[in-house]
Structure 1
Amino acid sequence: MFRFLLVIVLLTIFHCNAQPFSNVVSLDGQNDFIEIPNAFNTQFQSNVTIEAWVKPCAIDGHRMILTKFWCGNNGNQFYFTILDGKLRWAWDNTGCNDGANFYETGIVVQANVWQHVAIKHTPTGVTIYYNGSPIPGTLIQGSYANMLLSNEPLRIGVYKTITGNWFGSYFGLMDEVRIWDAALSDALILSRYNAPLVGNEPNLEGYYNMDISGVGNGITVPNIATNNGNTVDGVTIGTASGPFFFNQTTGTFNQFLGNDTTLCQGDSILLDASLIVGTYLWQDGSSDSVQWVNQPGNYYVTVTKNCEVYTDTIQVDYFPLVTVDFGVDTTLCGNETLNLDATFINANYAWQDGSNAPTFNVNSAGWHWVVVEANGCFGGDSILISYLPAADVNLGPDTSACLGTNILLNANTGATSYLWNNGSTNTTLNVNQSGVYFVETAGYCGSSYDTIQVNFIAAPIVNLGNDTLLCANETYLINAPNINGATGYLWQDGSTGASFLANQTGNYSLAVSIDGCTGVGSIQVNYSSLFLDLGPTDTTLCFPATLNLDLTQGNASYLWQDGTTNSTYTISENGMYYVTISDNTCSLSDTIQVELNKVNSSFSFSTQSECGLGRVICQNLSAVNMGTINQLEWYIDGERITSVNSPLFNFEVSGNYAIQLKAYSTFGCFADTTITIPVVAYPVPLANFQTSTNEAAENDPVQFINLSYNADTYQWLFSDGFVSVEKSLSHTFETPGFFQIDLYVSNEWCHDTVVKFVTVKTPIRYYIPNAFTPDGNALNQLFSPIFQSGFDPYDFQLTIYNQWGEVLFITHNATIGWDGTYNNSLVKNGVYLWKVKFLDTEHNERIIEYGTVTVVR
């Protein structure tokens, strides 16, 4: 309630006499105004009425309301201004201020107050109105008369001086600018001045009600008048900060700080008054456009823009701090529990396990936490709970272990002290001998005592015999030893029999258990490294290849079928071969049958010569001693060409060519042979020529240049009947048309032909005179181009210029020439420029010609 009453009081102070309309424009009195382009409905000579609502911040000097005045190319018309508190109407009826007329009132305009002003002009008098009623005024210079027409734009809020500078900038607020093309009656002005218009009232030419928002340069200000169908909108001229349009309705801009608000402890809020661009004064005396708030209280700001003052206030409060306190981290014993209480007024809860009650019962170790929300504010706490076991120590039941192992006795209960029977004070005791062991503990959760009997049992001895060496394919049976009390056998592969058959090199092991204690024995079985493999029993070799056998290994001895004893043997002939190899333990034998496959690659050939082509015909003659020839490959200069039996090779260029034949047998063996063969291909002539042009004019010579090669003789045939045997020549076509030219060339073996075409056209013929005598004697009276042929009369233009480039004559009719006149008068004697454009129909291209013509009378 307090905030509302404060706003009402401030509005009473700063907005008394406010006029009843909504949006207004604020002008800064320096460099902004509204400009309305010139149009027929802003041209006034006799009767005109102009109105505006004004609230000036300053009334000193000239403060222009509406002007259409400048002593320049556009002429003067009128301006309506505030001059030192008076209202002045000025109009011109002769130009450049020489006949300026001034009508002026006494001091009536007040600063910082909304008031309506109007002026009515007729050829016989002027009336000025204040708040809808006529007030006294005086003609202080000139006389009543019509106004001088002007092409100058209308301007709201400024005047353009004779030097082109801006003068008399309006400072303050303005609204409801109205322009009537009539002298309104006193009754109409009084009845309408304090109410908005529809826009279609009779004689209303301009109606700018400022019902727009925004700030800056280039904003369109609509003309609401709709009578003449040619409304002219205005546009703002200024900077990024002006002009400034805003809503003038009571209360507007008095809520720009927002609603009263309540924050959480530690939060802050930014109060922003920059919605209104002006000067600022906050409750603490600061002058920034914004203020940060982090404490409760009542905050307010006053914004001054031009002569308007706006204010707003906001109450900022803070919710109580959400607090939770679980105390310090806690240690519990055994099965103890702890109740955590986070109760807060009108709060919501979120515990670490997802529960949402105000309390939580702890029965496990770890971090426990809660988040508490009240009024959109948050608080919380966390606590680390540790658990110690109960005081009772337990070493477990009496136990046994295999001799040679250790047992770790663990008495750790979280106690603070430990005492073993051997005097140790550690939490654990490592034992490896049979006996009785005990421990006593004491700590946070009390004291305790326990004892345990530990027995150690010896493992059995397992003997599998000595390591052994075997020959290939031999086996060895390994038997488990007879051990009293054995409860099971386990071989290295997981089998559990009393014996194991070894058939490969390796280490074989057996685990035997007695009362859970296990003894392990092992034996190494090795095989002789002696080996023998001569390869497949029947082997075929491709002649002249050999088969090299290398059996070298360790300290072995060798005996071949021919009695030799080397570890290597080379086979290069057909036959049966065998060998025996021995060491101190084992002996091996093997046999191999070897066959040699011999391939003979051979072919015959013959050659032929033709025009542009040399031929080689080949015949395969290859053979093999066993099997058959099943694949042929022919190559020319290393490139594979074909696999047929008797190929034909064509060559377009003479030369020596290396032809190779590869022959393959069914056993995969091959042989090859290469023959270099001379080949002759007779040269082929190529007919070709070029012309000096493809489009010639009749009776103009055309050059024909012979570009043929590999030729000795030439013959030219022209479709117009001309024949020649010259190598190159020149020919003239006497008639237009499309002509074919054939060139035949040949040498001793071959010939060739080429055909080309030439188009012959009749050239365009026209004449343009350089002088004419328009003197009325019926001779040489017109200047015009004279065409005989070759142009399109529908695509033609003749233009005549004087020496300054001004167009004197133009025509698109080739039959109409220039008669030497301009504006129905003969031009002076002299030289004139002409330009002719026309379409050349023969070549389908546009021609542009320039020149001069002399007028002589």
Structure 2
Amino acid sequence: FASDPIPTGESYNFTLSDANACGADQVNGVLICACPVSATLSSDITICEGTIGEIQINLTGNGPWDIDYEIDGVPQPTINTAMDIYTLFVTTPGSYQFISAGDSDCTSDISASDPILVEVLPVPTAIISGDETICAGESVQFEVYLTGAGPWEMVYAINNIDEPAVTITSSPYNIGTDVDGTYTITSIIDSQCNGNSEGAATLTVNPLPTASIAGDQYFCTGESASIEILLSGIPDYVVSYTIDGIAQPDLEISTGGTFDLITDQAGIYELTGITDNNCMGSALGLVTLTEEALPTALLEKGSYVICEGSSQAMIIDLTGSPDWTVDYTVNGLAQTALNSSVNPLIVNMSNEGIYELTSVSDAFCNNSVGNEQVDIVYHPPISIESSEDVEICSGESVDIWVQAMGGLGNIYTYDWQMTDLVSSNENNATYAPENTSLISVTINEECDYNQTFEIPILVNQLPPISISSLTEMCGEGIINLVNSTPSSFVGDSCLWIIEGDSTYECSAFDQQFNLGTYDIELQITSPEGCFNSLFLEDHISVFPSSVSDFYFLPEEVTTVEPNVAFYNLSTESDSYTWSFGGEGISNDFEPEFDFGTRAGIWRVCLSTDNEFGCVDSTCQDLRVKTDLLVSIPNSFTPDGDGVNDYFFPVLYGADASDYQFSIYDRNGILVFDSDDIDERWSGSYRTSTDYYAADALFHWKLRTRALGSIERQIYTGSVLMIR
């Protein structure tokens, strides 16, 4: 017996009796139940400001649970949870007192448990600030102010690149450095917490200015020189220097890069110091500046007379440092300058005119020259007239002439070259050159003139005629005749002569040729009018063609009768080669061939040729079919006498891979079944080796197909087993 639920603290009263109301008992009292709910709490915690702590509460009873608690005596919202391990996340410092915990059945008082103390520590800070500017080689210190509980571990960065961590025991902390860049604090940790940083400091390191000169120089008398000073740093600059050890006024320079010091004072220039807007730097270098005297050029003056082809020496005396360049004019017109590394300068003059020096320069300087001149007078050269340029064809001759004029105008002699000369008479000559030539004639005159004159003779070559074509052909047909003479030798006139028939055609053309032999001639006139011809006797021969043809019998070939006779229908042929689909070859005129028991399609080809080398071939496909022969007896006697003891089909041309032979009794029961073409039936049931006791009639079914065929054949019948 179980009563209805009774709340704890309630009284109960039960009366017990049987069905006859005998033996009644009274049971009563007050029900007192202990609450099973409990809560176990974690210990005190310490957290850093801005982080979250955890208080873990382990619960017993039947969830869900309600938990009441206070912070520093101030009630907090009730916690509702269905988890038996509950985590309370806290950020507020104080004393956490848990009052009660209850499930769906009852509530337990847990206020007697110790409160949990939550301590929140402040985070440390690091502050850096300040901008500094120094010169290279100097250093500076940046102060970092720290809060929190030391010691601290700090990481700072220069231009966003972290430096190694440093341990600090007191604030402020000094960062000593000479590195250009922006300084920031990337990490600060005290003994308890990770902290925050703020601010930045910037260090600007100015490079030291420099000034340098190098390279000795010179200047010409009356001119000035420029000494280039190379500068670095930040303008404005003040540069100090000396000349031959004597200090000079400082140079004040407002632009960077380079500065040109213009001077006409020779000496040794040395830089001694430099400052820019920020720093004092270093100045280096020596330059020796030398003054060079101006060069001069003096001419041996006079007037001279020369013949054509001779010359007069012009002597020029020079002063200064070699090498020299002398500029001059002839009749007031500037000429190509004269160059010399020696003194005096000697120049051979061969042209008439007034030669006057205008300027001279040596290795260092340039100077003008005045009133230095000579006069040159000479006999004029002879002039020559001649026949016009000549153009001939190879193998021809030509008459040419020349006529001299000028010089002293007296007697001229003509000396003609001997090569290709046919004849000559003073200023006339006949030549027959094989190739394009320059015919030279040397003319002499009283002023010892010796002048050679050349007359070009253009010799056009005869067309080098070439013919390309077949020279032999089997059977009448068309041959392409090609004029393979280089196109540059082919003009508008080309004549083909074939066995007396003429055809005007310069390019390739097709010509019909019948059986026989043909002479070919080609005549060509070049664009320059030069004629040539080529005759080829019996150039083209046309032979009878060999023609291959055949047929075979029987037209239907089977594996039962695989022998085939081939009949040759070829013409104009002397030899024959038969190939039978890779199974054999024959050189008989009309062979026979046995293709055996293999079914298939055989490629039979006949190749022929004749005494002229003309060949031909023809092919035909020959199909060999498979004959399927089936023979099955209608009775057998399985009595063990060795005669007709087994029943089986006799097959010819059957595919053993596709075979099924089945035997049934009169009731249609399968008594024998085999896919082995060699297996025979002995008259026994297929699950026993015993013979059937009585004679009987059986039915059979045969499934097979011919070799090389995909079509199955089905045969049925009956057999009588006789004991």
Give the TM-score of the pair, scaled to structure 1: 0.30
Report 1 or 2 for greater relative contact order, CA contacts < 8 Å, sequence distance ≥ 6: 1
Structure ID, larger Rg: 2
Give the TM-score of the pair, scaled to structure 2: 0.34
